[in-house]
Structure 1
């Protein structure tokens, strides 16, 4: 008449689609989390931060005008590498359902990750940077001068994903129809 309770408590095996539906948020969260490391790397490498790339003492002062453009380039370069890496990760999943949603979330995550990297770099400069007289002189010190430097991550993710998908489709042989024989 009724089913035994032991049958009701059995776990239903999770399908591949269920697993995919549970992990969609990783394409948004992973770039945001990696923005923390990129922000720290920006402060370590850029002029005005620890200046590990050039080591030029003239660029060590965060308020120096000569270090503004290289500082923006260091962040843009790091974000470009992150965007290309994200696109390569997306390419491995190109033939699975939900490619458009994964790409959209990865691009959105890249934009959020770039904002996080920028803010973490500024925070690192406040915590560990030298106390400068930049605030008294009206200069802002270690900061980003061009907001366009935040766009390489989402832009590279979208562009490289598009190109990899396009090249994958161009190299694919057309399937023969059963009526052609």
Structure 2
């Protein structure tokens, strides 16, 4: 096993963690702006403007789910770029950033609902306030990222001509990562 000196190792792409994590804040505010029970810019139906209407709860969660899937697909486009020196580390950092971003989106959306929304008496049910009922929605951003990266990499492999070398391989056919 060949050890690479510390100064020769490529640096970790921390921006692939930080950008999705920070992008969760505007995604959460966008969730509150678009979702029923929030500002409700999608439907603008006054019947869906308040959380006391139980038919608002599913579309509110689905709005965040759609934003998470969209963000995951966008992040996958950046992660599927194989010209990075350490694509595996980029993928792991991107998925971790997506998970943190989805948590921040959830909290930012609920904070926007408390700050800019109408006051709601939540003594009967906590879901009357702007909130998320289905917590697995928070896993959609990293899941959509992982699936999209897989599909993009698969399409790249299927589109490669037979006999064409991997651009990351050395002239001897090894990737330089210790494995042949």
Supply the distance in 2 between the matched residues of 1:166 and 1:138 (Cα, whole angstroms). Answer: 46
* Cross-structure match for 2:125: 138
* Post-superposition offset of 1:96: 3.1
The size of the alignment, in residue pairs, is 158
Counterpart of 1:106 in structure 2 is 94
Unaligned runs of 5+ in 1: 1-14
Please give the alpha-carbon distance, in whole angstroms, between the structure 2 residues aligned to 1:176 and 1:100: 22
1:63, distance to aligned residue in structure 2 (A): 2.9
Query: Aligned to 2:105, which of 117, 120, 127?
Result: 117
Residue 21 of structure 2: aligned partner = 32
Structure 1 vs Structure 2 CA RMSD: 1.9
Structure 1 residue 173: deviation in Å?
1.8
- Structure 1 Cα separation of the partners of residues 19 and 83 of structure 2: 21
1:151-170 to structure 2, matched below 5 A, reads 151-170=139-158
8 A contact 1:24–1:102 mirrored in 2: yes
Q: Deviations over 1:25-55 (max 9, x none)?
A: 1111100110010000000000110000011
Contact 1:63 1:142 in 2 (8 A): no
Q: TM-score, normalised by structure 2?
A: 0.82
Deviation at 1:136, TM superposition (A): 2.7
Structure 2 unaligned blocks of 5 or more:
1-6, 166-180
1:99 is displaced (CA, Å) by 0.8
The structure in which a higher percent of residues are helix is 1
CA apart distance, 1:138: 3.0
Which aligned runs of 4 or more in structure 1 are off by greater than 4 angstroms? Answer: none
